[in-house]
Structures are given as C-alpha cells and as structure tokens.
Amino acid sequence: MSKAKRSPITGLGPYLRLSAEKLKKEKEEKKKKKKSATSDKSPSEMAATTAATMSIGSAVCCGPKTSTCAQSKLFTLRPTPRNSLTTFSGLKAATSVSFESDSSFLGRDSSSALRRMFAINSQKPNQSLPSKKSLQPQASYKVAVLGAAGGIGQPLALLIKTSPLVSALHLYDIANVKGVAADLSHCNTPSQVLDFTGASELAECLKGVNVVVIPAGVPRKPGMTRDDLFNINANIVKTLVEAVADNCPDAFIHIISNPVNSTVPIAAEVLKQKGVYNPKKLFGVTTLDVVRANTFVAQKKNLKLIDVDVPVVGGHAGITILPLLSKTKPSVSFSDEEIEALTVRIQNAGTEVVEAKAGAGSATLSMAYAAARFVESSLRALNGDDVYECAYVQSDINELPFFASRIKMGKKGVEEIISADFQGLTEYEQKALEALKPELKASIEKGIAFAQKKPVTA
C-alpha cells in the first residue's frame, strides 16, 4: 500500500532534482549579470533608473456604499532606462517614462497624450545625461488660484501642486492663505508655492501667470439657489477679473465662482471694457457635471469608469445642465425611466451634496477634483496637445451667446466647438435643450446687465 503511494513520485524524482539544480544555476547566473551591470553604471545613471512613482490622481467613484470601482487605480509614472530620453518623473531624474495604469486623472486619452508629451525631447545616443540640477519638468507653467484659502481652493491647490507641468503655484485670498501656502510648500513636488494676501498683493500674484483659476466666493447653503449667490459673487468675480485684465491679459481664465451661468458673462464684459477680451481664453468650468455624469452612468450600467464619457451641455445650474446620454461612450441603451432618473440626479447632484453636509458646506472636494482636471487639460493644451473637454464658453452653437459644450483646446485656447454632439439627439434631449434656453438666457442677460451698470475701475 505504501509502495503504491510512492510510485508516482519516485518516477518523477530524477526529473525534479535536475530541474531544481538547473533553476538554481540560472538564478545564480542572472544575479551575477545584474551585479555586473549595476557596478558599471555611474552614480547619475543609477539615480536615473531608480523606480519612482508619482500619483497624478485616480478615477473617482462616489454614490451608494455598495458601489465599488475596483478598476480605479492610481495613475503612476515609472521611469525606465530606455531610448536615452531625459524628462521629469515625480522627483527623480529619469531617462524615459512608462505608464502603468488602466485609469488616470484625466482618462485613457489623456494618459496617451501625457505619454507622448513625456517622450518628446530625446537626446542623441552619445549625449550624456544632464546633471541633476539641470533637470526640469518638460513644460513649466505658472498657475494662480484666486480664493485659495476656501473650501474649493485648498484641495484644488493641493491637486494642482501634484502636476508635473506646473513650475509656480500662486495662492491668493483676502485672509488665511499664508498657512495654506506653507503647508503645500512642504509637498515634495517641483512647483514653487507663493502666497499673496489682500488687494495690495493681487497684482504681484498675477504677473506672468499662464492660467488663472477663480473659485473665490461664498458657498451655497441649504435652501440657497445659485441665483441667491449672485449679488455676493458677482462683485468678487468682477474685481478679480479686472486685476487679471491689468496683469496677465493673455492667461487662460477659469471661472468656478457660482452662478457660472452669470459670472462668465460678467468676466467677458469686464475684459471687453478693459480692451483685452479674448473669447478663446475664457472658460466657465463645468467639468464637475461631466465627472458626475460619467460616474453615475458607470455605476448604473456597471461599466468600467475609465471608458465612460458623457458630454454635458447647456449651463451649470439646475435644468440648464443637460447630459446627452444618447451620446454616451461606449454606446449603451437606457430606458425612459433611467434617462429621466439619471438626468435629474446629474442636474441636482450639487443639492444632493449640500443636503448631505447639512449646512456644513457644498460640493467642494468633487469640484476641486473636476477643476484640477480642467487645469491639467489647459496646461496640456498650452503645451501643444489637442485636448477635448466640455466647458461653458462664448459660442455660436445656437442663438445664446454663451453655452456649454464639448470643445477642442490648443495653445491659443478654444480651437473648435464640437457641433457633432448636437446631431441626432433623442426627442427627450431635444425638448430638454429647448426648455433650458429661457433660463440660461436670463442668467446670461443678468450677468451682462450687472457688468454694464458697474463700470470697471481704471
């Protein structure tokens, strides 16, 4: 009985012993080769091949506790010694960059664009690596956040601080910004953080800036509509945009301060009065509507979040927010009930957060995430990439002077408004599109009237 049990193993014994000896020998040879290769490298080459990762962001998943997003992984840059390239990855000198993720801060298309961007400046084969001191990010831009001490401004500044494209981050607020800047300055990412407090330092904050982001203003409280915010935030935006016009008129201007449907027209009027209006460089940031639409659709249809793209058009408040679910990528079918439920949830998602926080604030974190995504897209556009995002801009897509839709961005700002999204709309979408126009028109006119009644300061 015992002999029968041993017989199968006995027959394989010699083979297993030989395989084990062979594997051991191969392992020792590999170890010797690796040791020899390492000893031949200079200190700078060894530093350049040190694996380092930098998290740019992650695919966001929110909603019911039972919802999971297992596919949402951190986006990492991992330098590898290939092709004699030199660039910047995280905090290490690197000879090239490889991307190891199914998802990223911006999505699959953005990952591909970043991969191309980081591989653009190659050295000649016989050219030695530059010294550690001379290594800089591939592209360096200055970004100013106006309202950096607020609920949106602080997490937004943190996310912008992680960008490899930013060389200087200017933080402005009327108070409490010095501590925010000191805190962020300890993060070991390349951008230099500077703080500016009060009107007397605003001009210095804006000098030489490439992108200005304006989240300044008061947050929405329970029972407060976006329209209630108008009188307070309109004056704030007007004052800040006047300073932008005087100190960095060529910068991309991102308006986050609500109500965006009115504050963007106010900014446009101020820039016109200053004689520096460029409609291609003024953006109302509606990215949060897209982020929410992508998240809710992925959850509802059990789709991989990184693959989902839902264009959201119109404005940035209530029924003016119109997700074009029929244009969802990948193509997916919805019942009438699902279309109604998803549309209403996307439109009222801000209220959902306000009520959940029970008076303690509004959608600050998700707004910061969405705004950081739009900043990164703008920086990539300035760096020469073709970038597609939805934004609230001056438009000729219909009779309204401002309208949110998908746009193509480049070095000079808006290069194209994508009209194809409006072809072949469903009956529900067409009716909703017509229904939002009167409210959006009224908001635009209110902003223009406010700006024209209050002349800009010289």
Q: What is the pLDDT of residues 33-56, one digit of tens each?
A: 655 555 554 444 443 333 333 333
- In terms of C-beta distances under 8 Å and separation of at least 24 residues, what long-range contacts does 327-332 make, across chains too? 327/421, 328/297, 330/303, 332/297, 332/301, 332/303
Three-state secondary-structure class, residue 407: strand
pLDDT at 142: 98
pLDDT tens per residue, range 330-355: 999 999 999 999 999 999 999 899 89
Distance CA 282, CA 284 (A): 7
Res. 133: pLDDT tops 80:
no
**Are 192 and 129 within 8 A, CB to CB?**
no
Local confidence band at 60 (pLDDT 50, 70, 90 cut-offs): very low
DSSP state of 21: H
324 versus 454: the higher-pLDDT residue is 324
Helix (H, G, I), strand (E, B) or coil at 41: coil
Sign of the dihedral defined by the CA atoms of residues 390, 396, 397, 401, in that order: positive
Mean pLDDT value across residues 82-106: 38
Residue tagged active-site, from 170, 186, 254, 316: 316
Cβ-based neighbours of 108, under 8 Å, separated by 6 or more = 306, 307
When pLDDT is averaged across residues 83-106 and rounded to a whole number, the result is: 38
Would you tell me the crossing angle of helices 260-274 and 427-453 to the nearest 10 degrees? 50
Query: CA separation (Å) from 443 to 230, 241, 251?
Result: 10, 19, 25
Residue 354 vs residues 59, 220, 291: alpha-carbon distances, Å: 22, 8, 17
Q: pLDDT above 90 covers what percent of the chain?
A: 63
Domain boundaries, the chain: 43-137, 141-283, 287-441
The answer to whether domain 141-283 has CATH 3.40.50.720 is yes
Instruction: Evaluate if residue 265 carries a pLDDT over 60.
Output: yes
- Architecture of the domain defined by 287-441: Alpha-Beta Complex (3.90)
Tokens 């506790």: give the residue: 65
Say yes or no to pLDDT of 184 above 90.
yes
Answer yes or no: same fold for 141-283 and 287-441.
no
316 is annotated as an active-site residue: yes
Q: Considering the entire predicted model, what is its pTM?
A: 0.74
Q: What is the pLDDT of residues 231-260, one digit of tens each?
A: 889 999 999 999 999 999 999 999 999 999
Q: Scanning the structure block, which residue is given the tokens 């926080």?
A: 357
Confidence band, pLDDT 50/70/90 cuts, at residue 218? confident
| Across 191-216, average pLDDT | 97
> How is residue 210 annotated by DSSP?
S
